[in-house]
Amino acid sequence: MAFAFSLLSVLMIVSTVLLSYSLTEDVARIGSRRYTKQLVDQVTANIESYIDYMESVSSFALANQDIQDYIRAEGERKQGQLKRRAADFLDTIVQSRRDISLAAVFDYKGNFVTHAPELKRNPFAETDTMPWFSAAREAEGEPTISTPHVQNIIKDRYRWVISLSREITDRTTGKGAGILLVDLNFNVINTICGSVALGKRGYLFIVDRDGSIVYHPQQQLIYGGLKSEDVQRVLAVSGDYFASSEDDGDKLYSVSNMRATGWKIVGVNFRSELVENREAIRLTFSAWGVGFFALTIVLSIFLSLRISRPIKRLRKSMQAVEMGDFDIRVDIQSTDEIGELGKDFNIMISEIRTLIKQNNVQQELKRKSELKALQMQINPHFLYNTLDSIIWMAEGRKEQEVITMVSSLARLFRLSLGKGKEIIDIGSEVEHVGHYLTIQKIRYKDKLDYEIKVDPDILNFKTVKIILQPLVENAIYHGIKHKASPGKITITGKRSAHGVELAVHDDGIGMSRETLSKLSAPGETNSSGGGLGVRNVDERIKLYFGKEYGLDFESAEDKGTTVYVRLPALEEAEEQ
Amino acid sequence: MRRSVSLFIPGILLSILLGGSVIIMLIAGMAAPKAPMRAIAVLKTIDVNMEFWEVVKTGMRTAAKEFDVELEIRGPQMESDVQGQIKIMEDAIAERPKVIILAAADFSDLVGSVENAKKKGIRVITIDSGVNSSIPETFVATNNIEAGEKMGVEMAHRATEGKEIALVNHIKGATTAIEREEGALRAIKKDGRFKILDTRYTNNIEENAYGITLELLETHRNLGGIMAMNEVSTVGVARALRDKKRSDVRLVGFDNSLFEVKLIEEGIIDATVIQQPFNMGYLAVRAARTANTGKRLEPFIDTGSLLITVDNMYHPEIQKSLFPFAEREARQ
């Protein structure tokens, strides 16, 4: 039972734990994807804010009077106060933001002014060959943003920058007259991109709209052909997210577009790192799983013990009962079905115990009664009196009477023995009492008269043997013997409503109410032997046929006594 | 019989418990988190002013992050401090990392340390400058013969036919010096249009290179080009040419510095071949990671070299190698 419980529970737990684990991982993965997207968007916004700033600064500069004055100035004037004022304005641009490394104006005649007077032109660098210069010229007043590059226009200064360049229009002529250059330190982008942590191995890179790498933490590896980035896919992707399987692991790309520059900022995550604390989650879930297992098994053992232990105890008790020990009691405290079972078991055992006790008592009673009946069969008094009578008759040469008496005696004893059976036909019983009465009639002569009127229909019903003889004996000795005039005994027998009713009626002296009640009371011992015989008859009938059967007395003083014998109408006796 | 049953059932329960746990752990993938591999890099110098080694370190750190290597970078302050490097090596060996990445300050003197590391079961990878031993798993460096050849080809392309070509090398007997010279000479000889002068040595002192150049300009009227085989030599030669205003003499140099960049812009240096220190550092750590898994490595890993001229120096692919750091002021 515990086995089945556990197996079931293990199945449930395994599936539950795995399901929750995969759900948790999914949630974590989605969360981390969202987080990556947010980071990339944040980076994009940060870089964009720099670009936006540069653009607004450039618009501001284009409209500035000092710049206009400088652009328009010719010859000597270009070097004096106008240049200084233009430089001052450019300096305010640089001062406003630490990340701006250079602000300068180059006119198309080869003059230039920067934010700091100490900066000199690199004599070997031609503005015409500078991509930012030509791009701005082509854009005709629109701002252009360069990819990161080394700015070498200033002597002895080589800095990685992103250049914003824009053609300055001379407002008097409406024609382009020079280029404004604002350089943003590329370090800004390095710092922004480098500070983003996408797991342990994840990183961020930027491509421009042509697919050239603008920023990549491993730019040199890519140029050296040691690494490649699926730039085409980044450019082609319509959404902001795609997955890719590469040599160094499965990667997830989050792409964000930058409006001003057309750059795409790409966050790269390694799938294996997406769920940041994957190991911790796994460990936790495994621990939970194992914990549940342990709990389940403990519970299963506990439950099955709770059920099986009382059953085992019950079984053990039953085995004891089997062996004959009826004094056992199961002690099951529980209130469930098992407890009920235990209670019922106890009730059953006590019932059996009572029955056995009863049975034993009855058996003993039966044995005693049978012994009594046996004694009645061979009542020595009766035998002695009869034999004495026979002797007297023999001496008186009353041969015929001797023959009658001896043969009746012989038949009487033979019927008394009744082949050893306790239950006999009513017919035999009537015959038996008939022989008895014949003997007594011979002894008492005219003093005794008798009549037997038994319905022939009931002769085949069963009865306990030797019931009528003691009643007749009783009638003679206690009824007729003490009567002055001759007495008559009438024996009747007929079907009654509930069975068979035999009756022994005498017209003797009768019994006082007191004597009658004494006779009726069961178990009461009577010193005068007669009562004993009658009660024995009653007991034996009750023993064999049940309490509803037995004797009833009806008596009135000087009128006589009738004893009714109530018997079942049984055709076949179940001899026990 | 009954007794054995009562032991049997707890046994089954226990196996179910264990079985279930194993299933969960298996399916949940209880692969224990891999501990990062520990490696120590012993470089020739940790002087932050040495740009080449700073870039090597950047490459190393990039790879260490990518391949989850717990890397520590050490080295003497001075490149010439061989004893200092041996001491650092011995300390590193005592800490028993999985791998030591060594840029040997001396071809012979570090052999003992490498052997000690092997005895302790530590794998050794050499970078930039190797040792005279077959113990290291691999040697990660610039293919100097090939780099020299690039110089020779460029020189042959630029110099006027029939002129004399001089080689200014750093240290006689140094592996890099020998190999670069071999490559350079092979290319010039193959071209066959030039006369090659005897190689001169600067002992890695800039002023010597300057002096040698002045002497060459004096003594060899037909001098058409000079090949300077390292940064110090290149700068020395270039300064002499600039001072003497001999723009007719072609100069092909080696290595990279902002001063060289400026000299290239000025037209004093016609071309320079630069190494790829970032790649060197990156590939060294990647090789260390591979070596730790027990895989065999190629005995030599080439980190590549680039030819820089005034025309390509600001190309996007070149810029990053030529200007590895965001900001640095050039020397006058």
Chain A residues closer than 8 Å to B70 by CB: none
CATH number for the domain harbouring residue B123: 3.40.50.2300
Kindly determine whether residue A220 and residue B30, on different chains, have CB atoms separated by under 8 Å.
Answer: no
Region A439-452 average pLDDT:
88
pLDDT category at A129 given cuts 50, 70, 90 is: confident
Kindly determine whether residue B320 and residue A223, on different chains, have CB atoms separated by under 8 Å.
Answer: yes
* Average model confidence (pLDDT) across chain A: 83
Region B271-285 average pLDDT:
93
pLDDT category at B325 given cuts 50, 70, 90 is: confident
Tell me: do B180 and B266 sit in the same domain: yes
Residues 156-175 of A with CB under 8 A from B: 156-160
**One fold for A2-49+197-276 and A64-183:** yes
Tell me: do B137 and B183 sit in the same domain: no
Tell me: do B75 and B162 sit in the same domain: no
Single out the residue of A6, A233, A201, A204 nearest to residue B68, CA to CA.
Answer: A201
The residue among B16, B26, B274, B329 with the most chain A CBs within 10 A of its CB, best to mutate, is B16
Residue A233, both tokens? 């896919």
Contacts for A552 with CB less than 8 Å, ≥ 6 apart: A563, A564, A566
- Identity of the residue in A156, A200, A221 whose CB atom sits nearest the CB atom of B262: A156
Chain B residues closer than 8 Å to A287 by CB: none
Phi and psi (nearest 5°) for A181?
A: -125, 125
CA distance B200 to B240: 15
Nearest chain B residue to A227 by CA distance is B279
A27-86 tens-digit pLDDT: 877 887 888 888 888 888 888 888 888 889 899 888 888 888 888 887 777 778 888 889
Residue A410, both tokens? 């012989």
Tell me: do B149 and B137 sit in the same domain: no
Tell me: do B54 and B114 sit in the same domain: yes
A147 secondary structure, DSSP code: P
pLDDT at A524: 45
Lowest mean pLDDT among A170-179, B124-133, B239-248: A170-179
Tell me: do B97 and B224 sit in the same domain: no
Residue by residue, what is the 3-state secondary structure of chain B? CHHHHHHHHHHHHHHHHHHHHHHHHHHCCCCCCCCCEEEEEECCCCCCCCHHHHHHHHHHHHHHHHCCEEEEEECCCCCCCHHHHHHHHHHHHHCCCCEEEECCCCCCCCHHHHHHHHHCCCEEEEECCCCCCCCCCCEEECCHHHHHHHHHHHHHHHCCCCCEEEEEECCCCCHHHHHHHHHHHHHHHHHCCCEECCCEECCCCHHHHHHHHHHHHHHCCCEEEEEECCHHHHHHHHHHHHHCCCCCCEEEEECCCHHHHHHHHHCCCCEEEEECHHHHHHHHHHHHHHHHCCCCCCCEEECCEEEEECCCCCCHHHHHHHCCCCEEECCC
- Identity of the residue in B12, B29, B317 whose CB atom sits nearest the CB atom of A3: B12
* Average model confidence (pLDDT) across chain B: 88
Report yes or no on whether pTM surpasses 0.80.
Answer: no
Q: Determine the structural domain holding residue B130 and report its residue range.
A: 37-142+277-298
Kindly determine whether residue B265 and residue A17, on different chains, have CB atoms separated by under 8 Å.
Answer: no
Q: Number of helices (H) and strands (E), helices first, in chain A?
A: 16, 18
- Identity of the residue in A7, A21, A217 whose CB atom sits nearest the CB atom of B62: A217
In the numeric block, the tokens 């418990």 are attached to: B17
Provide the residue count of chain A: 576
Phi and psi (nearest 5°) for B205?
A: -120, 125
Residue B332 maps to a domain: no
- Identity of the residue in B24, B28, B276 whose CB atom sits nearest the CB atom of A224: B276
Can you give the residue ranges of every domain in chain A? 2-49+197-276, 64-183, 279-359, 378-567
Farthest-apart Cα atoms in chain B, separation: 114
CA distance A85 to A92: 11
Tell me: do B155 and B71 sit in the same domain: no
Chain A residues closer than 8 Å to B258 by CB: 158
CA distance B285 to B275: 17
Tell me: do B184 and B313 sit in the same domain: yes
Q: Kindly tell me if the per-residue pLDDT of B240 is higher than 60.
A: yes
Determine the distance in angstroms separating the CA of A54 from the nearest CA of chain B, rounded to an integer: 20
Please report, to the nearest 10 degrees, the dihedral formed by the alpha carbons of residues A308, A314, A315, A318 taken in order.
-170
Residues 197-216 of A with CB under 8 A from B: 200-201, 212-213
Nearest chain A residue to B281 by CA distance is A221
- Identity of the residue in A213, A220, A279 whose CB atom sits nearest the CB atom of B278: A220
Nearest chain A residue to B21 by CA distance is A290
Neighbours of B128 (CB within 10 A): 23
Determine the distance in angstroms separating the CA of B319 from the nearest CA of chain A, rounded to an integer: 7
- Highest-confidence range of A202-206, B97-101, B170-174, by mean pLDDT? B97-101
Q: Kindly tell me if the per-residue pLDDT of B176 is higher than 80.
A: yes
B113-154 tens-digit pLDDT: 999 999 999 999 999 988 999 999 999 999 999 999 999 999
Residue A238 burial by CB count (10 A; 0-12/13-18/19+): exposed, middle or buried? Answer: exposed
Kindly determine whether residue A201 and residue B323, on different chains, have CB atoms separated by under 8 Å.
Answer: no
Region A193-214 average pLDDT:
83
Tell me: do B89 and B235 sit in the same domain: no
Single out the residue of A188, A146, A185 nearest to residue A165, CA to CA.
Answer: A146
Kindly determine whether residue B28 and residue A286, on different chains, have CB atoms separated by under 8 Å.
Answer: yes
Tell me: do B154 and B48 sit in the same domain: no
Single out the residue of B60, B99, B125 nearest to residue B292, CA to CA.
Answer: B99
pLDDT at B2: 42
Kindly determine whether residue A150 and residue B319, on different chains, have CB atoms separated by under 8 Å.
Answer: yes
Chain B residues closer than 8 Å to A190 by CB: 326
Q: Which amino acid is at A146?
A: S
The proportion of chain B whose per-residue pLDDT surpasses 90, expressed as a percent, equals: 64
Q: Does domain A64-183 have CATH number 3.30.479.30?
A: no
Residues 492-521 of A with CB under 8 A from B: none
Kindly determine whether residue A293 and residue B276, on different chains, have CB atoms separated by under 8 Å.
Answer: no
Neighbours of B210 (CB within 10 A): 20
Contacts for A275 with CB less than 8 Å, ≥ 6 apart: A25, A28, A29, A32, A281
pLDDT category at A198 given cuts 50, 70, 90 is: confident
pLDDT at A277: 64
pLDDT at B125: 95
- Identity of the residue in A158, A221, A286 whose CB atom sits nearest the CB atom of B323: A158
> In the beta sheet, which residues pair with residue A138?
none
Q: Number of helices (H) and strands (E), helices first, in chain B?
A: 11, 14
- Identity of the residue in A6, A187, A221 whose CB atom sits nearest the CB atom of B282: A221
A255-273 tens-digit pLDDT: 888 887 888 899 888 877 7
Chain A residues closer than 8 Å to B29 by CB: 282
Residue B24 maps to a domain: no
A393-431 tens-digit pLDDT: 889 888 888 898 889 888 888 887 767 777 888 998 899
Region B47-56 average pLDDT:
86
Kindly determine whether residue A6 and residue B13, on different chains, have CB atoms separated by under 8 Å.
Answer: yes
Region B217-246 average pLDDT:
94
Tell me: do B187 and B318 sit in the same domain: yes
pLDDT at A76: 72
**CATH top-level class for A2-49+197-276?**
alpha beta
Phi and psi (nearest 5°) for A124?
A: -95, 0
Q: Which amino acid is at B199?
A: T
Tell me: do B108 and B240 sit in the same domain: no
Determine the distance in angstroms separating the CA of A109 from the nearest CA of chain B, rounded to an integer: 22
Overall number of domains in chain B: 2
Q: Which amino acid is at A418?
A: G
Q: Which residue has the higher pLDDT, A398 or A491?
A: A491
B14-42 tens-digit pLDDT: 776 677 667 666 655 544 456 788 999 99
Residue B11 maps to a domain: no
CA distance A445 to A440: 8
Chain B residues closer than 8 Å to A276 by CB: none
Residue A438, both tokens? 């014949």
Chain B residues closer than 8 Å to A159 by CB: 326-327
CA distance B137 to B293: 12
pLDDT at A28: 78
| Contact of A427 with A457, CB cutoff 8 Å | no
Contact of A299 with chain B, judged by CB distance below 8 Å, is answered with: no
Q: Kindly tell me if the per-residue pLDDT of A525 is higher than 50.
A: no
pLDDT at B251: 96
Determine the distance in angstroms separating the CA of B187 from the nearest CA of chain A, rounded to an integer: 24
> In the beta sheet, which residues pair with residue A176?
A169
| Contact of A171 with A197, CB cutoff 8 Å | no
pLDDT at B5: 47
pLDDT at A531: 60
Q: Which residue has the higher pLDDT, B106 or B1?
A: B106
Region B1-25 average pLDDT:
62
The proportion of chain A whose per-residue pLDDT surpasses 90, expressed as a percent, equals: 11
Q: Is the ipTM of this complex over 0.85?
A: no
Kindly determine whether residue A290 and residue B24, on different chains, have CB atoms separated by under 8 Å.
Answer: yes
Nearest chain B residue to A184 by CA distance is B326
| Contact of B259 with B235, CB cutoff 8 Å | yes
Contact of A124 with chain B, judged by CB distance below 8 Å, is answered with: yes
Q: Kindly tell me if the per-residue pLDDT of A299 is higher than 50.
A: yes
The superfamily in CATH containing domain A378-567 is Histidine kinase-like ATPase, C-terminal domain (3.30.565.10)
